[in-house]
Structure 1
């Protein structure tokens, strides 16, 4: 099978607050879909409650083969593929894996719009993120790892001192 016929990851832009519904519909259609979620404590007037919210608002990620390209639009809430010059832009597998491992290992991280200057490229050599590539930058005495999610303009930012501490616990 040629590389072009293999499945590839793409970012889908969804309507606001429709990520979970889109995720469920795509899964029911048999499409491999990834919606990174994190737990947040929300305050209401009468109570506090832990809820799961998308790591990156208005985005879900699908791993599809070319013939499934149009099928995703059967899910109510899908707006468009993240594209460049009218073509959907594939997300490299290693970026999806880096995001998945960061979220699943429950590391503390923030999500920032990509507007940071480029730093030294590194590959983590040990611990739960072994093999993950990123960029390290010295910021006020702390080391940060930036995991770029191509073409959507976001990155996960991990404080490496906290990652090392969590890994050693």
Structure 2
């Protein structure tokens, strides 16, 4: 993860967790477009972080050619399709003052909430963009399963609503100590699936891990996509039964 990336302020509240850059204000947290209704009571600053399942729409993970998250977000929304671009919040000093600015959490992925047909059309249109030497978007495949009618191929990766809501909750919290991690850099405490019961991470589900000498809760959205909370005390969490959040 590179820390040198910066983002220009955006007026669209659905873009980049709804958080304008270079501000000291609290995070409004949604990251979803206004077209996604919600019945959840779990809100921060009046903005919901959950979406209601709509018909046969799913959360698709799409790969973005490196460095073009901004362009990908604009392209998807121009097609009238909802998407989510997670951020992490970096603490910096400018002119002697401490500020927290948003930077991309995942440089190569965008999460699209749509039907399979909509995504197929989106990727087809993406391939015919004039003057582009590489595709802006492509499928990210689920390598853990195979298509029933073609055992040599993997289906596109989709994320369950429950898992996506949990991920959006976590990545919408404006805390510079929330970080992306790799499986090699963490030591899980076997079997400790927990839910955080107190503090700003209340309601986050994940696994207890020790990272850089601190106890944190790790949310794994899919293989290779792991995000860790800041330090969480053992008193601020409770164990729960093992749950599967992958799509």
User: Smaller-chain TM-score range?
Assistant: 0.7 to 0.9
How far off is 1:38 after superposition?
3.2
Does structure 1 retain, via aligned residues, the 8 Å contact 2:57–2:113? yes
The 1:149/1:68 distance shift into structure 2, 3 A limit, reads same
Corresponding residue for residue 83 of structure 1: 142
- Whole-angstrom distance in 1 between the partners of 2:86 and 2:80: 18
Say which SS state the counterpart of residue 170 (structure 2) adopts: helix
Larger relative contact order (CA 8 Å, sep ≥ 6):
1
SS at match of 2:220: strand
Largest Rg, 1 or 2: 2
Residues 121-132 of structure 1 aligned to structure 2 (within 5 Å): 121-132=193-204
1:135 and 2:183 matched? no
- In the alignment, what sits opposite 1:31? 81
Q: Aligned pair 1:113/2:182, yes or no?
A: yes
Gaps of 5+ in 1: 44-48, 165-169
Is this contact kept in 2: 1:114–1:154, CA < 8 A? no
Report the TM-score when normalising by structure 2: 0.53
Aligned pairs for 1:33-112 within 5 A: 33-40=83-90, 52-73=102-123, 74-75=125-126, 77-84=136-143, 85-107=153-175, 108-112=177-181
Gaps of 5+ in 2: 1-52, 94-98, 127-134, 144-152, 236-247
Higher strand share: 1
Higher-helix-fraction structure: 1
Q: TM-score, normalised by structure 1?
A: 0.75
Alpha-carbon RMSD across the aligned residues, in angstroms, is: 3.1
